[in-house]
Structure 1
Amino acid sequence: MSSQHYKYVCTLRGHNADVRGLCEVQEKGILSCSRDLTTKLWISSGENDYKEQSSYTGHKNFVLCVAMMTPLKDVYPDGLILTGSSDHHINVYMPTSCEPIMSLVGHSNTVCSMVAGLCGTVVSGSWDYTARLWLFDSKEIKDAKCVMIMSGHTAAVWDVMIMPGQQRLIVTASADKTIKIWRTGKCSHTLEGHSDCVRSLSALSLSQFLSCSNDASVKRWSVEGQCLQTYYGHSNFIYSVCSIPDKSEFVTCSEDRTLKVWTISEGNPIQTIPLPAQSLWKVIVLINGDIAVGCNDSTIRIFSKIRSASPDNQASFQQELSTSEIPGASMELGDLNVDNLPGVEALEKSGERDGQTLMVSNQGKVEAYKWNNIDGKWVKVGDVVGSNATGKKSVYQGKEYDYVFTIDIEEGKPPLHLPYNLTEDPWFAAQKFIDDNVLGQHFLDTIVNFIVDNTKGANAQYQTASQYSDPFTGEGRYMPNTTEGQSSGGADPFTGSGRYIPSNNNSSGSRSGTDPYTGGGRYVPESSASRIEPSQSVQRDPILNPSRYIPDSNGNMQKKISVSNQYFPKTDYILFNKKNVSAMIGKIKEFAEIIESPLSSEDLMSLENMTNPDYNPVSHEIEKLWRMLHWNADVLFPILDFVRYSSINQLCIVQTICSNWAEEFLNMLLEILRNSSCKNAQTNVLLALRILCNLFSSTDGLAFLLAGCNEICNAVAMLLPADGAESVHGVANNVQVAIATLHINYAVCFINKSSYSSALASLCDDARLCCLRSSLTFVGQAKCIGLEALFRHLVGLGTMISRHEIARVTAKSLNVQELVEVAADVFRQSSKVAECSRYLLLAL
């Protein structure tokens, strides 16, 4: 163990938002970048302080990473400052100028990591799943060239590193849970071992490096791909790791509000430093051995083994630490009850390990302490709030609530507040939060799970088994007893709707509708359409808005209220319209080579052009795409994904296929739904269903779907799991949700019948009854299809019988009342299923 420990030196204040990136400038300077859209240069002004010297501007969104390039001959004698941003650009600055001299364009999403090498090289990592190698001209000032693109990750590349002494050996860390080692641009090793996003890398030697992850672990690797050691000690996401110059120690920072110092030889930290901030985003070790850490409270804090702050500044730091408020969900609190916590006398007993957390009750307040092994005492790190442990109400916009959660939904937007009372239904509270903040419906289930998880024990009525925590702020922490390979319970804490959410393996009972990985090259087709939730703008039907009596406090039926059905009839289609062009085209190119049908550069350009809604493809381009649809089923899914997207955005493709090859196209899709033997059967099925859903967006697609409704419904019925089974030949819950969406879109088509031509309108009546019977079959197997799929089938049924007496009578003759009642009982904990079921029964 080191004979010295780190002590607080100073705090750098100047940013007005999270400090996300740091790097050293020579020996006396630090560069910091922030969500406030600026990068700042700090110069040491004395033994224990830094002063802001420059502030660099020019980005249009958050600045997430910064790097310093060493001088490049006479062209850049002072070196260059490079910054990466959520605006997808890399800005380049002369240190003496606060405006960029150039901007490097190439990434298609946030640039979140960057490292400068020798001889004018820079490596950048991005949420576009790639890393890029840039080369600056050493002869004249002009834009750098992207000389290499490293593609292969299936999610955001969170960090990049050039191994010391080996400029051609690059390491990348990704949200797909893997690390890749690249030699001259070719992936030589893919390292698997972390069970969540890999966030940061740091070299230890010419042949070893460290990685840290959202799974709360640090791993030591060899460049040959062998995991040499795993370190545990943090209780939450670890955002950054950095080795200390002599390479015998390293430091990490985490969402658990602590810095930890480790030795390479020991599996546990040797020092834990608590900070008065929630998210410690970036830690670097300076040449002199000092530590700098960037935090979410807009500050940079410096710690040193050889220096320390003045007694007054030390006292100020301890006061700031002890008075900081700790959200209850950010600590390992469980279901806090202030009456069951020990009193302050518990602080008289020594802690068992450095960094151990102790909660004590002090005059009705919950205080948090951490054990400092070096000083041999408990250090107060804050007052615990947000857990409602004291029973006090929180005030929000002049009203009192049991809880007011702070949620950071999206990069680029300020945090949002979610007020909640224990008497509320979590579903309605979450829906109101979405409506008030104009958020996408795909957030609904995640927010509900967050409310339930963070009020567990306080609100037993809505308590459910859930492994979700706050996916936006990380405050519903990673639980250290989670076994490797399981979900850590939290999604990525700061990337919002643009962020990559690590794996979310759905089961039939899962509320989530996201896609599983597809295996193989790990390309994941873009997916999620919005969830179906109550809407204030849906069209009303008088039969679905009856008045009813409810009992008063004495049980007498005296009070008459109007029931407002917010669920159906639904009048707009649900479409799957997301895309990832680079991943789609890349996988198509890869598979073309596998099946020995390589595509020319013109073919690839044509495909990429066709993803642009403003582009008008010519006939031979569509014919080429049609031929590609005949590829072997094992490699077909990127083509299907391409057609899924084109079904909405290139109507001439739909028109040509449905006019020239309609029968063959239908048989092709039906065969995909029936084929369970190929390697990517589940993904093919999912994409075929989404193609069918998207075809409703055009008249040609509509005619195709109505003509083939009977065959489509029969094929879809084969995907219904057997009673008690979670899936059939690998068909997961997201497939069941897609099936229910298809039924809803058919129902919407029937509602809009009056606007169609007579030929299309005549097809609607036969298709309506066929689709009605099909949907009832799925409702009858509610246990097998999951909550979201069932809910969509109920919305579809309600829409099908609206304004159509024959459909209503037919549904009653098929025993719909009993089927709906049984299905609603299966998911009786869901208020939206209960409400929608009740309105459906009233409509009958």
Structure 2
Amino acid sequence: MLFAGEDRTVRIWEKNACVQTITHPAISVWTVAVCSENGDIVTGASDRLVRVFTREPQRYADAAAIEQFSEDVKSSAIPQQSVGNINKEKLPGPEFLTQKSGTKEGQVQMILESNGNITAYQWSMAANQWVSVGTVVDQAGSDGRKISYNGKEYDYVFDVDIEEGKPPLKLPYNVSQNPYEVARKFCEDHKLPLTYLDQVTNFIVQNTQGATLGQSTSQGADPWGTDARYRPGDATAPQAPPQPPAPKAKILPQKDYLDILTANHNPIFKKLQEFNQALVNDGSKGLSMNPSDVEQLNGAVSLLEKGSAKDIDPSAIDLIVKAATEWPEDKRLPGLDLLRLLFAAEEPVAYLTTEQNILHRLANSGVFAPTSPLNNTMMAVRSLSNLFKTDVGRAVAGNEFDQIHESVSAFLTTPNRNLIIAITTLYINYSVLLAGDNNADRVLSLLDDLNKILHGAKDSEAIYRALVATGTLLSLDSDFCEAGRDILQLPSAISAAEKQAKEPRVKNVVAEIREKLQG
């Protein structure tokens, strides 16, 4: 027996028990039916799509379609009104998902993520695991009003005027999405330079007026985003990308450094406060911060949010380093996140490297050990990537290449998407840096690492970044092309990457790399 409820879930009942659920929180199920011949279930939903669910493997969709459906479910925004009042302070963290099993099919569990968001998970009896079904929001889009664009529903569809006299580009965005990932895809789809990633990200955050998860809602915003349209030279458009140059015919070599600066400062600080209070409650006075420390840290976070990291007092930096390197591993992530932001500013980097010997402290903290929580390692690698934002940081990255390389090389085959993307971003930055310092040993060691990444990576973004780094290093000298071809067997890795990530951008950069290897 089937039942389609108002909570946007289809439930399958057998012998008075629910044995399976099919959920998509962002979509209302309009109708549901059973095919009498084979038992398949057909649903019609508010997104104007008909979906067929089957238990017969021969009728399964291809892996890409199934993965896309799963990703759509994970990225859904669940209106808080539909789940009632939630006390964030009493919600368990992500560790709950690996420590406790569900008791029935479709059981819902709210989890407080490390970034302050609340994610809903459902228990699947068939898979014997918790499955993410969306992020709970109380922001724009939570009232169910969506904007249709290219057959999909969005909370916002911005107009972006790139060139005078030409139609604006559409930038669709849901509040449940990562602004950085949306900005990245927008730049790639329209062949805009990767250097505009951070500016486009800030454009999204600013013009949703806090509708990004964890922030406050703006009332009465134009749902089409036309009042937040970006126009080159418009002083009222906050943090909008400037008019980009004409797209380059060639991708390689990469000439610009990449950084990872997007942050939700308030949730980071609140999580740090929460962890500090837990240390106080546990009697860990040597590790916890006193009220004056917390107040000082609050001021530092405010300065980071305003882009005034140079004005942060060194004593506040010391507190961040303490939280990032000395607190228990399960409480370090907020401190590491703040350290990531400090690494992008010249004055803090100078202090961190001369007074704190921060790279040595990170290594000794165990953040690069095999047993370290991968989110901690990922955030530490993101910090290293941000070193390339300033001249001082680039000098540190060059001088400390051996230590940094040793720290990250143990994670080249990690299945963690965020970590491998952070590593490949770091390698892109090193490939750009080495263009001014053609160090053969370093180039070959990086090419060897990238060879391993390309053989094992599954994520298309990580593959693309690894290819860009590889091609940039090969552009330095024909001898490196020869070594890559004859010694490292790079053509095999390139073929494996192309087979794994069948995207136009991957094919384009692969073609350029092959041309270099053959030359």
Distance 2:160 2:317 in 1: 46
Sort the Cα spacing of 1:214 and 1:775 in 2 relative to 1 into closer, same or farther, 3 A: closer
User: Are 2:447 and 2:473, in contact at CA under 8 Å, matched by a contact in 1?
Assistant: yes
What is the CA distance between 1:792 and its match in structure 2? Answer: 0.9
For residue 674 of structure 1, the aligned residue among 368, 385, 395 is: 368
Structure 2 matches for 1:825-844, cutoff 5 A? 825-827=499-501, 829-844=502-517
Residue 598 in structure 1 maps to residue 289 in structure 2: yes
Quick check: which one's strand share is greater? 1
Distance 1:579 1:238 in 2: 19
What's 1:180 paired with?
Answer: 86
Residue 442 in structure 1 maps to residue 181 in structure 2: yes
Sort the Cα spacing of 1:181 and 1:774 in 2 relative to 1 into closer, same or farther, 3 A: closer
- Deviation string 1:410-456 (CA, Å, 9 cap, x unpaired) is 5374799xxxxxxxxxxxxxxxx9994478883389799x9xxxxxx
Sort the Cα spacing of 1:187 and 1:738 in 2 relative to 1 into closer, same or farther, 3 A: closer
Sort the Cα spacing of 1:188 and 1:647 in 2 relative to 1 into closer, same or farther, 3 A: closer
Give the letter aligned to residue 598 of structure 1.
M
User: Are 2:79 and 2:136, in contact at CA under 8 Å, matched by a contact in 1?
Assistant: no
For residue 744 of structure 1, the aligned residue among 405, 424, 428 is: 428
For residue 618 of structure 1, the aligned residue among 300, 313, 316 is: 313
What's 2:343 paired with?
Answer: 647
User: Are 1:669 and 1:688, in contact at CA under 8 Å, matched by a contact in 2?
Assistant: no
Identity of aligned residues (%): 18
Distance 1:673 1:820 in 2: 31
Give the letter aligned to residue 498 of structure 2.
A
What's 1:792 paired with?
Answer: 465
Residue 735 in structure 1 maps to residue 434 in structure 2: no
Sort the Cα spacing of 1:651 and 1:281 in 2 relative to 1 into closer, same or farther, 3 A: same
What's 1:275 paired with?
Answer: none
User: Are 1:736 and 1:789, in contact at CA under 8 Å, matched by a contact in 2?
Assistant: yes
> What SS class does the counterpart of residue 595 from structure 1 fall into?
helix
Structure 2 matches for 1:251-262, cutoff 5 A? none
What's 1:659 paired with?
Answer: 354
User: Are 1:570 and 1:795, in contact at CA under 8 Å, matched by a contact in 2?
Assistant: yes
User: Are 1:585 and 1:607, in contact at CA under 8 Å, matched by a contact in 2?
Assistant: no
Quick check: which one's helix share is greater? 2
Distance 1:711 1:180 in 2: 45
What's 2:388 paired with?
Answer: 696
TM-score w.r.t. structure 1 length?
0.35
What's 1:111 paired with?
Answer: none
Structure 2 matches for 1:310-459, cutoff 5 A? 405=150, 411=156, 413=158, 436-437=169-170, 442-443=181-182
Give the letter aligned to residue 496 of structure 2.
V
Sort the Cα spacing of 1:187 and 1:714 in 2 relative to 1 into closer, same or farther, 3 A: closer
What is the CA distance between 1:778 and its match in structure 2? Answer: 1.3
> What SS class does the counterpart of residue 448 from structure 2 fall into?
helix
Give the letter aligned to residue 446 of structure 2.
C
Sort the Cα spacing of 1:568 and 1:437 in 2 relative to 1 into closer, same or farther, 3 A: farther
What's 2:53 paired with?
Answer: none
Distance 1:640 1:798 in 2: 31
What is the CA distance between 1:666 and its match in structure 2? Answer: 3.5
Distance 2:322 2:303 in 1: 16
What is the CA distance between 1:157 and its match in structure 2? Answer: 9.7
What is the CA distance between 1:834 and its match in structure 2? Answer: 2.0
Give the letter aligned to residue 746 of structure 1.
Y
Sort the Cα spacing of 1:445 and 1:435 in 2 relative to 1 into closer, same or farther, 3 A: farther
Unaligned stretches of 5+ residues in structure 2: 1-75, 94-105, 112-118, 123-134, 173-178, 190-207, 215-243, 281-287
What is the CA distance between 1:645 and its match in structure 2? Answer: 1.4
Distance 2:256 2:209 in 1: 27
For residue 779 of structure 1, the aligned residue among 454, 470, 478 is: 454
Residue 637 in structure 1 maps to residue 328 in structure 2: no
Residue 580 in structure 1 maps to residue 264 in structure 2: yes
Distance 2:338 2:142 in 1: 40
> What SS class does the counterpart of residue 86 from structure 2 fall into?
strand
Distance 1:624 1:811 in 2: 45
What is the CA distance between 1:697 and its match in structure 2? Answer: 0.7
TM-score w.r.t. structure 2 length?
0.54
- Deviation string 1:529-574 (CA, Å, 9 cap, x unpaired) is xxxxx99545xxxxxxxxxxxxxxxxxxxxxxxxx43x22111122
Structure 2 matches for 1:508-523, cutoff 5 A? none
Sort the Cα spacing of 1:280 and 1:812 in 2 relative to 1 into closer, same or farther, 3 A: closer
Distance 1:238 1:815 in 2: 47
Distance 1:771 1:434 in 2: 43
What's 1:707 paired with?
Answer: 399
User: Are 2:157 and 2:171, in contact at CA under 8 Å, matched by a contact in 1?
Assistant: no
User: Are 2:337 and 2:379, in contact at CA under 8 Å, matched by a contact in 1?
Assistant: yes
User: Are 1:411 and 1:496, in contact at CA under 8 Å, matched by a contact in 2?
Assistant: no
Distance 2:450 2:300 in 1: 36
Give the letter aligned to residue 504 of structure 2.
S
Q: CA RMSD in A?
A: 4.7
- Deviation string 1:558-613 (CA, Å, 9 cap, x unpaired) is xxxxxx43x22111122111122211111112222222313324323333344232
Distance 1:790 1:280 in 2: 35
Give the letter aligned to residue 770 of structure 1.
S
User: Are 2:363 and 2:407, in contact at CA under 8 Å, matched by a contact in 1?
Assistant: no
Give the letter aligned to residue 316 of structure 2.
E
User: Are 1:640 and 1:687, in contact at CA under 8 Å, matched by a contact in 2?
Assistant: yes
What's 1:817 paired with?
Answer: 491
What is the CA distance between 1:743 and its match in structure 2? Answer: 0.8
What is the CA distance between 1:637 and its match in structure 2? Answer: 0.8
Sort the Cα spacing of 1:592 and 1:716 in 2 relative to 1 into closer, same or farther, 3 A: same
> What SS class does the counterpart of residue 427 from structure 2 fall into?
helix
Sort the Cα spacing of 1:604 and 1:842 in 2 relative to 1 into closer, same or farther, 3 A: same
Sort the Cα spacing of 1:820 and 1:178 in 2 relative to 1 into closer, same or farther, 3 A: farther
Distance 1:434 1:787 in 2: 30
- Deviation string 1:753-796 (CA, Å, 9 cap, x unpaired) is 1xxxxxxx47x5543332222212212324xx422211111111
For residue 300 of structure 2, the aligned residue among 590, 598, 607 is: 607
User: Are 1:696 and 1:705, in contact at CA under 8 Å, matched by a contact in 2?
Assistant: yes
- Deviation string 1:799-826 (CA, Å, 9 cap, x unpaired) is 1121423332332232212221233223
> What SS class does the counterpart of residue 150 from structure 2 fall into?
strand
Unaligned stretches of 5+ residues in structure 1: 1-154, 160-172, 198-212, 217-236, 241-278, 283-294, 298-326, 328-403, 417-432, 451-494, 502-533, 539-563, 722-726, 754-760
Structure 2 matches for 1:141-290, cutoff 5 A? 158-159=79-80, 179-181=85-87, 193-194=107-108, 281=143
